[in-house]
Structure 1
Amino acid sequence: MAPGSTPAPVLRATDIHKSFGSRRPVLRGADLTVAPGQLVAVVGENGAGKSTLLKILAGTLPADRGEVTLPGTLGYCPQEPVLNGALTVEQHLRYFAAARRLPDTDRGLELVRLLGYERYTQSPAGDLSGGTRQKLNLTIALLHDPDVLLLDEPYQGFDWETYLRFWDLVEDLRARGKAVVIITHLVFEQERFDLLADLADGRLTPRTPSQEDRHVGV
Structure 2
Amino acid sequence: MGRRALEVEEVRHSYRRRPVLRGVDLRLRAGTLTGIVGENGAGKSTLLKILAGELRPCHGTVRHHGRFGYCPQHVVLNDSLTVHQHLKFFQSAFRLPDVRRAEEIMNVLGFAEYANERARALSGGTRQKLNLTLALMHDPQVLLLDEPYQGFDWDTYQRFWDLAARLRTAGRSILIVSHLAYDTERLDELWTLAGGVLRPRAAGTT
TM-score range, shorter chain: over 0.9
Corresponding residue pairs, total: 206
Contact 1:27 1:53 in 2 (8 A): yes
Whole-angstrom CA distance in 2 between matches of 1:87 and 1:188 = 33
2:10 corresponds to: 15
What is the percent sequence identity of the aligned residues?
54
Cα deviation digits, residues 42-61 of structure 1 (max 9, x gap): 11111000000000001111
The residue number in structure 1 matching 2:32 is: 38
Residue identity in the other structure for 1:163 = Y
User: What aligned pairs does 1:128-167 form with structure 2 within 5 A after superposition?
Assistant: 128-167=122-161
* CA deviation string 1:23-51 (max 9, x = no partner): x2000101111000111101111100000
The within-5 A match list for 1:43-192 is: 43-192=37-186
Displacement of 1:155 after TM fit? Answer: 1.4
- Does the Cα contact within 8 Å between 1:26 and 1:202 map onto a contact in 2? yes
SS in 1 for 2:65: coil
Amino acid at match of 2:28: V
Q: Point out where structure 1 has 5 or more consecutive residues left out of the alignment.
A: 1-5
Q: Secondary structure at the match of 1:180?
A: strand
* Superposed structure 1 runs of 4+ greater than 6 Å apart: none
CA distance in 2, matches of 1:75, 1:105: 16
Task: Name structure 2 gaps, 5 residues minimum.
Answer: none
Q: Which has the larger radius of gyration?
A: 1
Secondary structure at the aligned position of 1:63 is classed as coil
| AA partner of residue 175 (structure 1) | T
TM-score, normalization by structure 2: 0.97
Letter in 2 for 1:130: G
**In structure 1, C-alpha distance between the alignment counterparts of 2:69 and 2:23, rounded to whole Å:** 24
Q: Deviations over 1:137-179 (max 9, x none)?
A: 0000000010000000111101110100000000000001100
Q: Tell me, in whole angstroms, the C-alpha distance in 2 between the residues paired with 1:187 and 1:99.
A: 34
Deviation at 1:126, TM superposition (A): 1.2
Computed over aligned residues only, the root mean square deviation of the Cα atoms, in angstroms, reads 1.1
| CA apart distance, 1:208 | 3.3
Counterpart code for 1:137: N
Partner residue, 1:3: none
Give the 3-state SS of the residue equivalent to 1:123 in structure 2: coil
Structure 2 counterpart of 1:205, which letter? R
Residue 7 (structure 1) shift: 2.6
Amino acid aligned to 1:8? R
How far the C-alpha of 1:8 sits from its partner, in A, is: 2.8
Q: CA deviation at 1:71?
A: 1.5
CA distance in 1, matches of 2:200, 2:9: 13
What is the CA distance between 1:186 and its match in structure 2?
Answer: 2.2
CA contact under 8 A between 2:38 and 2:180: conserved in structure 1? no
